[in-house]
Amino acid sequence: MKILYGDAAARLKDLADSSINTCVTSPPYYNLRNYGVADQIGMEGSPAEYISDLVEVFREVRRALRPDGTLWVNIGDSYATSSGSQPPTNTRNSQGHTPKSVPAGYKRKDMIGIPWMLAFALRADGWYLRQDIIWAKPNTMPESVRDRCTRSHEYIFLLSKGRKYYFDAEAISEPISDESLKRYERKCERGNPMFCGGGGAGADKHLKARKNKRDVWSIPTGGFKCEHFAVFPERLAELCILAGSPKGGVVLDPFAGSGTTGAVAKRLGRDFIGVEINPQYRRIAIDRIAAVATAQEEGGVHG
């Protein structure tokens, strides 16, 4: 377990080729929060610059992934308004603009479409874009808006390095409701081969009362109190790690933040490598992962 200090694109170059099983991350959102660090991603002068910087980071991620590796990236959208934070000096702002002004090509109050801009840019750069997953937030924060609905979802994109990749569907399968199970049984009794396979393996499969994970995940926000503004829910990281890596595998997060991905990886018996540009958050992440390791040792739990 280690968390490298510095810029993600630069520090990822230190990783060996084909050494990572999966990457689970949530990069800083565009024009949303100033984390107080020069050259931070998210404070670029335009959405195009922001996407370009992320593509550069994830290009290094792809190099470091095993041939069967995957990328799970959580990304939220932004609006073309003047509500963003003023960036510190020496930021990634090559055109002399600040994110507080409406980006060129957008009207004030436009939804920018950042998630799909990133997804399409990564696909064009060589990634396989496999799925968009909706993270539904049942406890979403209220917004002071009256001319649109309150946002209560974000995207998680599943991308892969190659056409075939590691994906443990059973590890994140969902329980089948009693009503659904009874429906399967009735159809099997009627001889429907789709549901019972003639009374053979198909019937056994459905009697396990599990079904393939759906692509809308209802997960509350929060769960870890620290000075980091946006904490990734542990359950969200858990699903991605379980599906994307075997026990003993290596999980990467190039935007480690408060260390959620690392803490969950440790708890699930995976190794972890993170990168964090903010020294304060890096310290929080190191301590958080160490606390999980200590709890496992004291409880006799080893993944």
pLDDT bracket for residue 193 (50, 70, 90) = low
- Model pLDDT for residues 241-293, shown as the tens digit of each residue: 999 999 999 999 999 999 999 999 999 999 999 999 999 999 999 999 999 99
Q: Give the residue, 130 or 181, on which the prediction is more confident.
A: 130
* DSSP secondary structure string for all residues of 176-240: PPHHHHHHHHHHHHTT-HHHHGGGSHHHHHHHTTEEPPPSEEE--S----SS-SSPPPHHHHHHH
- Model pLDDT for residues 151-188, shown as the tens digit of each residue: 999 999 999 999 999 999 999 999 887 776 777 677 67
Give every strand in the sheet of 20-25, ordered side by side.
2-5, 271-276, 250-253, 20-25, 65-75, 153-160, 128-136, 216-218
Q: Where are the beta strands (DSSP E) in the chain?
A: 2-5, 20-25, 65-75, 128-136, 153-160, 174-175, 210-211, 216-218, 250-253, 271-276
Q: Report pLDDT for 47.
A: 95
Q: Report pLDDT for 23.
A: 98
Q: Report pLDDT for 301.
A: 53
Q: What percent of the chain lies above the pLDDT cut of 70? A: 82
Can you tell me the distance from the alpha carbon of 127 to that of 230, in angstroms, rounded to the nearest whole number? Answer: 26
- Model pLDDT for residues 78-102, shown as the tens digit of each residue: 888 755 444 444 445 544 444 457 8
- Model pLDDT for residues 47-77, shown as the tens digit of each residue: 999 999 999 999 999 999 999 999 999 999 9
Query: Which candidate, 248, 257, 289, 263, places its Cα nearest to that of 66?
Result: 248
The pair of three-digit structure tokens given for residue 247, joined into one six-digit string: 């026990």
CB 92 within 8 A of CB 41: yes
Q: Report pLDDT for 64.
A: 98
Can you tell me the distance from the alpha carbon of 194 to that of 197, in angstroms, rounded to the nearest whole number? Answer: 6
pTM above 0.75, yes or no: yes
Q: Is the pLDDT of residue 6 over 50?
A: yes
**Highest mean predicted confidence (pLDDT) among 15-24, 73-82, 200-209, 225-234:** 15-24
